[in-house]
């Protein structure tokens, strides 16, 4: 009741509407059930505009509730802006969706072939699977399958990295080195195949025992670094 009433008058055209004038006055000053002419002003309410407007106001309010409402903070004005379509944003969204159009088409074709019984065996299996899913599916299974998928995606790369490491030339040379030390007769023949001198260096001036210990340390350190690098990836 203690707020300000604002009235805007627009002149509508074929393409757009133009502001003719506006008026603003407190509701408490209005005389109930009375017609009155008001002179229109510009948007800043400083100068008079062309024309006037006839208003008849009928105000019904509760004085007690209005006085209590006056104790609360004043409400902020709400401005609703017209949503305009931005061509750049629209083009960006279209570019994002374009790569998925082929997948949607292929999925639609697959469903069409599936339910048109072009391949009876596959269609029968899909029908049985759908019936079982309708009969036995529970909402908690969604989280279960998602957790199972995450566990599989976590374990499979580690297994793959471990298997690739075991099949790498370094691990094969390490196994050759271990086997060569078990047989004393082939010790000198397998030294050239165990470690490449261009990579690990030449240790011909060392004793056999010191050379073997150093080779084991170098290979162990190299394998540890490879494992750490694969785990970080």
Distance CA 166, CA 183 (A): 23
Return mean pLDDT, the chain.
74
**What pLDDT is attached to residue 127?**
86
What stretch of H or E contains 141? helix 140-166
* Mean pLDDT computed over 202-211: 55
More confident residue, 199 or 42: 42
pTM of the entire predicted model: 0.33
Q: Strand pairing partners for 4?
A: 26
Q: How far apart are CA 106 and CA 192, in angstroms?
A: 57
Average pLDDT rounded to a whole number, residues 67-84: 73
Map out the domains of the chain as residue ranges. Answer: 4-69, 168-232
Please report the pLDDT score of residue 200 as a whole number.
Answer: 44
pLDDT-wise least confident of 19-28, 31-40, 221-230: 221-230
The more confident residue out of 86 and 143 is: 143
Residue-wise pLDDT for 45-56, tens only, equals: 888 888 888 888
176 has pLDDT over 80:
no
Q: What is the pLDDT of residue 199?
A: 44
CB burial of residue 130 (10 Å; 0-12, 13-18, 19+) = exposed
DSSP assigned state of 27: G
Instruction: Tell me if 219 sits within 8 A of 203, measured CB to CB.
Output: no
């Amino acid at each position: 009741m203690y707020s300000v009433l604002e009235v805007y008058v627009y002149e509508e055209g074929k393409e757009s509407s133009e502001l003719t004038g506006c008026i603003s006055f407190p509701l408490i000053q209005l005389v109930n059930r009375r017609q009155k002419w008001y002179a229109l002003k510009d948007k800043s309410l400083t100068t008079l505009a062309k024309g006037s407007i006839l208003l008849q106001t009928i105000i019904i309010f509760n004085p007690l509730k209005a006085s209590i409402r006056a104790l609360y903070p004043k409400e902020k004005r709400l401005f609703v802006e017209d949503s305009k379509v931005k061509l750049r944003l629209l083009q960006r969204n279209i570019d994002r969706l374009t790569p998925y159009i082929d997948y949607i088409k292929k999925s639609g074709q697959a469903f069409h072939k599936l339910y048109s019984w072009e391949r009876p065996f596959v269609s029968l299996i899909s029908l049985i699977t759908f019936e079982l899913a309708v009969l036995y599916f529970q909402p908690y299974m969604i989280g279960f399958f998602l957790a199972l998928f995450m566990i599989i995606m976590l374990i499979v790369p580690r297994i793959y990295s471990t298997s690739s490491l075991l099949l790498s030339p370094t691990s094969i040379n390490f196994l050759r080195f271990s086997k060569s030390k078990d047989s004393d007769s082939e010790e000198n023949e397998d030294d050239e195949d165990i470690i490449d001198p261009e990579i690990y260096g030449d240790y011909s001036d060392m004793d056999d025992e010191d050379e073997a210990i150093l080779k084991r340390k170098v290979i162990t350190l190299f394998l540890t670094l490879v494992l750490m690098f694969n785990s970080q990836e």
